[in-house]
Structure 1
Amino acid sequence: GKSSALMESFKNLVPQYALCLRDGEKHNLPADELTVGDIVEIKFGDCVPADVRVIEAQGFKVDNSSLTGESEPQSRTRKCTDVNPIETKNLAFFSTNAVEGTCKGIVIGIGDNTVMGRIAGLASSLEAGKTPIAKEIAHFIHIITSVAVFIGVTFFIIAFIMGYHWLDAVIFLIGIIVANVPEGLLATVTVALTLTAKRMADKNCLVKNLEAVETLGSTSIICSDKTGTLTQNRMTVAHMWIDNTIIATGTSEDQSRCQYDKSAPAWRMLSRVAALCNRAEFKTEQENVPILKREVNGDASEAALLKYVELAIGDVNGWRSRNKKVCEIPFNSRNKYQVSIHETEDKNDPRYLLVMKGAPENILQRSSTIFVNGEEIPMDQERKEAFNKAYLELGGNGERVLGFCDFFLPSDQYPIGYQFDADEVNFPLMDFRFVGLMSMMDPPRPNVSNAVAMCRSAGIKVIMVTGDHPITAKAIAKSVGIISEGSLTVEDIAQRLDIPIDEVDSRNAKATVVHGGKLRDMTSEQLDNFLECHTDIVFARTSPQQKLIIVEGCQRLGAIVAVTGDGVNDSPAMKKADIGVAMGIAGSDISKQAADMILMDDNFASIVTGIEEGRLIFDNLKKSIAYTLTSNIPQITPFLFFMIASVPLPLGTITILCIDLGTDM
């Protein structure tokens, strides 16, 4: 069934081969032959073959978005940094992708014992309950059966008292019961569901379970994942700070809303550093693909910078070839900066250009001047305060902020042909010129905010449930309308009143952002009260198990719950929900198997279409049942007159049964 298919797709995640060290020799083994205790080597581009404890790492980063929802690659080292296995940096998990560097690790979990295996096992062990339409129809059939039997038995007794032969009385009994039972109801329901499913398929909604169509119409709460569902799961440059001004670059598909002076000296300086101090490269043969949709080798943040600069100035590869790189210190989590040194394209200037990017506070410390309005001025206290204000504003939006600086190395100390050494650094790393900030985010999908607004107007509560950071989750929730304008969280109220958070009554806050860790300490009653008290809810840093608990809490309140998601971490909650909705393009195989409906164009707004169609079905079925039941009255009345007043039957019993069958069908 569905569970076995789900486990089958889980097996499809297994990478074909893994480089394993056994008896001092390297072997290329099928990944399913690995065992606990094996030492494996993983390099950039590989899929992690099992749950691995890192014992050696060189700039190793993994993409955990399928597991935690974080768009930004996570660095991995041999050091344990957290008691929570999902958070610690010395574990790499099965089926996540290595996006940078290399690592050597010891296998600590294989197959069903991996984190991903346990999630898939959790999803496959859950049984889906009855759909609302199945419950309603069962309830209706119980009522109509009771009424039909009661009327039939009453007629049978009256006929017996009136002196009819017992066989005639039994025929009356059977006729009345058959006349009252809507034989065509199930056929009507199936036809209505099938036609709606066909209409939805034309609108890019693939319905796997017919009854799910009506369930979507009954939905009262949507629990939605963030990364890849509400957002595009691609880092994009959202803002930059140059000439003491924050400029919004626009995060549309082509960043066409970005209006600023591209000839400004400050932008030329910033774009030069962003293009040169960048290891990301476009994959080959993509000239005809729109820039923002091109595939890139490299880190997600660097890919965002590369695409943005390519869009703004074009021919980044040409820039790089004309400004040849002669030395580089790659980014690492200890230094929090990346440096590269280049020959310049200016033939009249023999100086080398040093460019650096990294954590803004680090770049600020290393800068003694700042480039503003075409001139280089000292980095005084006033400039530092302006920097801090801009940095806090961008960081508060949940965006990842990077600082950029440059420096021309004096030609008398660093002549042409100078041998730079990145290991034993023989060039300056201080007194640079600060050129600006750039911030990146995973932008919301187009039309999501409209869809959320339509859900609200239809009386549906939309809750965000994500594995990402609370600040990022809150920023996206505000931008798509899950936290509506004017809704304040406890933190917002405390900040506005300038009082400690503990003194704020949480019941006064319409909106709330909850860390998944707090769910562990909540009882079922506390969670139920919490879900009832707040209208705008965001759950951040949630595990797959916690997503499941949230769905169960909503169902305990009597809500019909839809869960939308695209990752393996969403599949248990999707299976438990009344209806699971997966993304067709970005969604993992496991999430598609667990879902009842798949959005083929990954458009969250298609859910609104599904809700409209589902509600239409309910209205149509009510009309159909009303028509069927009212037709029973003229069929029963002649029987009644015939028995009580001996008025001759205009039609025989068999004829009436045939008419009834035709009416119902």
Structure 2
Amino acid sequence: MRYTTSVTKGLTSSKAEEVLERDGPNELLPPKGTPEYVKFARQLAGGLQCLMWVAAVICFIAFGIEFSRGTLGCFDDLYLAITLITVVVVTGCFGYYQEFKSTNIIASFKNLVPQQALVIRDGQKNQINAMDLVVGDLVEIKGGDRVPADIRIIFAQGCKVDNSSLTGESEPQSKTPECTHENPLETKNIAFFSTTCLEGVATGTVINTGDRTIIGRIASLASGVGNEKTPIAIEIEHFVDIIAGLAIFFGFTFFVVAMFIGYAFLEAMIFFMAIVVAYVPEGLLATVTVCLSLTAKRLARKNCVVKNLEAVETLGSTSVICSDKTGTLTQNRMTVAHLWFDNVIHAADTTEDQSGQSFDQSSETWRSLARVAGLCNRAIFKPNQESLIVVGDASETALLKFTELAIGNMMEYRERFKKVVEVPFNSTNKFQLSVHELEDPMDLRYLLVMKGAPERILERCSTILIKGQEMPLDEQWRESFQTAYMDLGSLGERVLGFCHIYLNENEFPRGYKFDSDEMNFTTSGLCFAGLISMIDPPRATVPDAVMKCRTAGIRVVMVTGDHPITARAIAANVGIITEGSETVEDIATRKRIPVEQVNRRDARACVISGGQLKDMSSEELDEALRSHPEMVFARTSPQQKLIIVESCQRLGSIVAVTGDGVNDSPALKKADIGIAMGIAGSDAAKNAADMILLDDNFASIVTGVEQGRLIFDNLKKSIAYTLTKNIPELTPYLIYITVSVPLPLGCITILMIELATDIFPSVSLAYEKAESDIMHLKPRNPRKDRLVNESLAAYSYFQIGAIQSFAGFTDYFTAMAQEGWYPLLCVGLRSHWEDVHLQDLQDSYGQEWWVSVIEICQIADVLIRKTRRLSIFQQGFFRSVDVDSMEQMSLTPYIQSYTPCYVSFMKGWGQWWFVPIPYGILIFVYDEIRKLGVRRHPGSWWDQELYY
């Protein structure tokens, strides 16, 4: 493409305006979001809400017809319709508010865009808004600047750019005008939009702006990834389908039976509506939202911010974590890891506080090595700062911090060794050197110090420093050097060599004019001081977190843009590749056979580079993930990260992806749950993620997994508790319509039970602690371990629900018998009982008899739901939330029985509410026996049928 750009004068202003008009501003357009009104509508019209809307419409129709006929009690239908609509609207508003509050955290990509750019137009340098840059503009960047667009380098001097947020590489990348690779991400003559220039200067031509830049393509790739349903959303949808199906089935059955035995169409429809109201757990919608919100707040206190409430449980279901390396598993800072001097490899302190060193610092060789590392170094501490902030590239920053801890104040130390001349590192020489005056004013010699690629440094040396003495660099010492170099390189560390020489004072007297371009001084015959290797070390808490994940049955896969050797070394350090695990290459080396002859299934670990992944089919990638429990992917592109996530999902895994860079955003979006880093994370990553770790600590994920598993257990308990009372609410209508007894329980009373007495106990179960060490259990299988399964339904409906129904019949018929209405007399009494023309029957339904049964039995029910496996005596009986909810439940029968407004509204009288207490005790004892059998006989028929 021709840009018609002058390499000295840049574009003309008129040409720039023309291109700006054509391409638009240099900015990233934020992804389109779901309109707020659509979010609100979803809260009002999803799943169970639709059934409640239908029931409300039926109630309005019934009220209209009965009111026109002058039917007594027609206002009951109006009250019920208004109550149902109120329930739907209130729970919908609550759910929308929680979603709005949780998702209104991240704006978009705008913080990534530099505000100003230095551009050359019409031969003049001007600072302009970066949004006004166009393709063809001539731009200058310097150390500390963010690159304002994708630019093709045409001039560079010591320019290094930090690509870590884009490619995942910790090491700064040198930029030169030469094209070094056909892959744009790896060539040295392109600098990318939003990356940071660490040092040096460069001039380049803009080749892409806005959404057409590499970061723009990644952003559009992320926004183009569809949102999959979360596991908890699938579970709730599954539960809603079951409840809706049962409600419609039983409602329609009662409707047909009512029509068959002679009821009018309107009365039969009211029966249908009553069954729906009895069967739909109206308080469940609020309960699920509250449970998720409570857990999200709990995680927020532990530095995990949840943007999507449903992501809370998804994390608990996670079976695979695809983790970025740089900044997530590691500290995102190069640190000195090992030193080789005096023919010994010494380990340095790589902890985050670097509190101490484990090697002997009294050696003269060490002092010389430290002096070279400190002086041949362009990094500096930023002045006038409360904390020590280093300005410089990653390697020199690591060396400066290391020597500061080892020697002391490096800024003062450097002042004692005044720098005379410096030759910066370049890709041709592969070394950096500087010449210094000595601190002793009487010693007029100059000290030349040099560092660089070890093999380049060694070839310039003739001696080696051993225990403070210069020894000839013979073949034996060269072999020792080569062995140490290979050992350090195999650890995935970046190795630098260091040497020095005292320049002859006769040849280079004080005042000598050193020329860095001509290098009119000695650069050979130097004395080799040693090797220093650096690595971006793991976070201190990561190995333990990875071990906990493995114990919990969660597979951790590293996906990084870094070099395969480095990636493998870090994976081994943090436990992703365990001790003793071999790759195909390791087996081939051990057996001394070609790699092709190794059975790949014998290798437990596998490291796959981006180049290898590019040549693999989907089936081959799936097979690799199946065959190798320990996986590392290195040198991957954003698209390849996406492919890896999709492969894991094809294998049936619930995938969590962690990351902090722009390159992670497509995979974060595609994953079942995306987890971004809050401190080092780019806005693109945060925008694509479902959860943000405020402390950037991989270990926080373990806390999230535990909380996610706990919320699934607690939701299961809450749903089991809520479903149980459906049977004692349904059976009154069963006997009412089949044997024509007076109705023991009205629709409005059912709603009062659902809303006034059930929500608090349901929510209280969200506060339950884990029954056992849930982090030693395998992740649940979404296809088998459903939120609502056959065992839960059978236990809630046909065991505990049946006991409550039997208690209700006992209380109801006993109370009726006391007034002279023995059970056989009640059969067929309904038509006389409701006949407004008969005055010899007292027109009261006495519904408090049945209400008191449900309330008392549900107190026992909420107690037994505290655990599914452990005895309640092991878990503990009460906590404040449980006590409050049970006090509220126990007071409800009193209020409903003795408050005048309740008596007239619900047609109740206060008596016979002590009868269900023995049944509550029976429920408690029965469940303790069930739990005992489950614990004593795991895997047995008892366990399979009665453990829900």
TM-score between the two structures when normalised by the length of structure 2: 0.68
Select 1:53's aligned residue among 152, 160, 180: 152
- Which of 125-134 and 212-221 deviates more? 125-134
Amino acid at match of 2:504: P
Q: Which residue of 2 aligns with 1:366?
A: 460
CA contact (8 A) 1:2 1:594 kept: no
Q: Which residue of 2 aligns with 1:247?
A: 346
Q: Which residue of 1 aligns with 2:785?
A: none
Q: Which residue of 2 aligns with 1:211?
A: 310
CA distance, structure 1, for counterparts of residue 252 and residue 30 of structure 2: 45
Select 1:387's aligned residue among 448, 473, 481: 481
Shift of 1:660: 4.4
CA distance, structure 1, for counterparts of residue 485 and residue 167 of structure 2: 26
- Which of 6-15 and 204-213 deviates more? 6-15
Shift of 1:361: 0.7
Shift of 1:102: 1.3
Shift of 1:233: 0.9
Q: Which residue of 2 aligns with 1:119?
A: 218
Select 1:64's aligned residue among 155, 163, 173: 163
Q: Which residue of 1 aligns with 2:430?
A: 336
Select 1:230's aligned residue among 329, 343, 356: 329
- Give structure 2 stretches of 5+ with no counterpart: 1-28, 34-104, 760-948
CA contact (8 A) 2:497 2:530 kept: yes
CA distance, structure 1, for counterparts of residue 689 and residue 532 of structure 2: 38
Q: Residues 240-281 of structure 1, C-alpha deviation per residue, up to 9 Å, x if partnerless?
A: 011111111121122224222222211111111111111111
Select 2:669's aligned residue among 575, 587, 591: 575
CA distance, structure 1, for counterparts of residue 350 and residue 751 of structure 2: 65
Shift of 1:160: 4.1
> 3-state DSSP class of the match of 1:228?
helix
Amino acid at match of 1:558: G
Shift of 1:2: 7.6
Residue 399 (structure 2) pairs with residue 305 (structure 1): yes
Shift of 1:234: 0.7
Select 1:602's aligned residue among 696, 699, 707: 696
Shift of 1:526: 2.2
Select 1:447's aligned residue among 500, 522, 541: 541
- Which of 567-576 and 165-174 deviates more? 165-174
CA distance, structure 2, for counterparts of residue 48 and residue 282 of structure 1: 24
CA distance, structure 1, for counterparts of residue 738 and residue 113 of structure 2: 76
- Give structure 1 stretches of 5+ with no counterpart: none
Amino acid at match of 1:3: P
- Which of 630-639 and 573-582 deviates more? 630-639
> 3-state DSSP class of the match of 1:227?
helix
Structural mapping, 1:15-54, within 5 Å: 15-54=114-153
Residue 490 (structure 2) pairs with residue 490 (structure 1): no
CA contact (8 A) 2:152 2:191 kept: yes
Q: Which residue of 2 aligns with 1:153?
A: 252
Q: When the two structures are aligned, how many residues end up with a matched partner?
A: 660
CA contact (8 A) 2:147 2:195 kept: yes
CA distance, structure 2, for counterparts of residue 653 and residue 420 of structure 1: 98
CA distance, structure 1, for counterparts of residue 114 and residue 755 of structure 2: 58
Give the alignment's Cα RMSD to 1 decimal.
Answer: 1.9
Question: CA 1:507–1:274 in structure 2 vs 1: closer, same or farther (change >3 Å)?
Answer: same
Question: CA 1:4–1:650 in structure 2 vs 1: closer, same or farther (change >3 Å)?
Answer: closer
Q: Which residue of 2 aligns with 1:617?
A: 711
Structural mapping, 1:2-13, within 5 Å: 3-4=31-32, 9-13=108-112
CA distance, structure 2, for counterparts of residue 118 and residue 412 of structure 1: 61
Residue 234 (structure 2) pairs with residue 135 (structure 1): yes
Question: CA 1:328–1:143 in structure 2 vs 1: closer, same or farther (change >3 Å)?
Answer: same
CA contact (8 A) 1:628 1:663 kept: no
CA distance, structure 2, for counterparts of residue 371 and residue 489 of structure 1: 38
Q: Which residue of 1 aligns with 2:629?
A: 535
Q: Which residue of 1 aligns with 2:522?
A: 428
Q: Residues 483-525 of structure 1, C-alpha deviation per residue, up to 9 Å, x if partnerless?
A: 1222211111111111111221222211111111222222222
Q: Which residue of 2 aligns with 1:177?
A: 276
Amino acid at match of 2:281: P
CA contact (8 A) 2:106 2:686 kept: no
Shift of 1:32: 1.8
> 3-state DSSP class of the match of 2:711?
helix
* % same residue: 65
CA distance, structure 1, for counterparts of residue 753 and residue 359 of structure 2: 75
Q: Which residue of 1 aligns with 2:369?
A: 270
CA distance, structure 2, for counterparts of residue 452 and residue 2 of structure 1: 35
CA distance, structure 1, for counterparts of residue 164 and residue 276 of structure 2: 58
Shift of 1:83: 0.9
> 3-state DSSP class of the match of 2:723?
helix
Shift of 1:168: 4.5
Select 1:463's aligned residue among 557, 562, 577: 557
Structural mapping, 1:497-508, within 5 Å: 497-508=591-602
> 3-state DSSP class of the match of 2:698?
coil
Residue 134 (structure 2) pairs with residue 106 (structure 1): no
CA distance, structure 2, for counterparts of residue 466 and residue 460 of structure 1: 19
Shift of 1:454: 1.0
CA distance, structure 2, for counterparts of residue 225 and residue 140 of structure 1: 35
> 3-state DSSP class of the match of 2:145?
coil
- Which of 247-256 and 120-129 deviates more? 120-129
Shift of 1:654: 4.2
Shift of 1:7: 11
CA distance, structure 1, for counterparts of residue 752 and residue 524 of structure 2: 95
CA distance, structure 2, for counterparts of residue 332 and residue 210 of structure 1: 51
Shift of 1:167: 4.7
Residue 315 (structure 2) pairs with residue 221 (structure 1): no
CA contact (8 A) 2:283 2:754 kept: no
CA contact (8 A) 1:182 1:664 kept: no
Residue 450 (structure 2) pairs with residue 356 (structure 1): yes
CA distance, structure 2, for counterparts of residue 259 and residue 640 of structure 1: 80
> 3-state DSSP class of the match of 1:9?
coil
CA contact (8 A) 1:7 1:124 kept: no
Amino acid at match of 1:280: A
- Which of 449-458 and 118-127 deviates more? 118-127
Question: CA 1:338–1:173 in structure 2 vs 1: closer, same or farther (change >3 Å)?
Answer: same
Amino acid at match of 2:513: Q
Q: Residues 402-459 of structure 1, C-alpha deviation per residue, up to 9 Å, x if partnerless?
A: 1111111122222222222222222221111111110111111121111111111111
Shift of 1:392: 0.7
Which of the pair has the greater relative contact order for Cα pairs under 8 Å at 6+ separation?
Answer: 1
Deviating beyond 6 angstroms after TM superposition, the runs of 4 or more aligned structure 1 residues are 5-8
CA distance, structure 1, for counterparts of residue 243 and residue 677 of structure 2: 40
Question: CA 1:411–1:631 in structure 2 vs 1: closer, same or farther (change >3 Å)?
Answer: same
Shift of 1:177: 2.2
CA distance, structure 2, for counterparts of residue 472 and residue 96 of structure 1: 22
- Which of 257-266 and 612-621 deviates more? 257-266
> 3-state DSSP class of the match of 1:326?
strand
Shift of 1:565: 0.7
CA distance, structure 2, for counterparts of residue 532 and residue 458 of structure 1: 19
CA distance, structure 1, for counterparts of residue 571 and residue 341 of structure 2: 28
CA distance, structure 2, for counterparts of residue 640 and residue 325 of structure 1: 97
CA contact (8 A) 1:183 1:664 kept: no
Q: Residues 60-115 of structure 1, C-alpha deviation per residue, up to 9 Å, x if partnerless?
A: 11111111011111011111111111011111111111112111211111111111
CA contact (8 A) 1:470 1:540 kept: yes
> 3-state DSSP class of the match of 2:337?
strand
Amino acid at match of 2:667: A
Structural mapping, 1:186-197, within 5 Å: 186-197=285-296
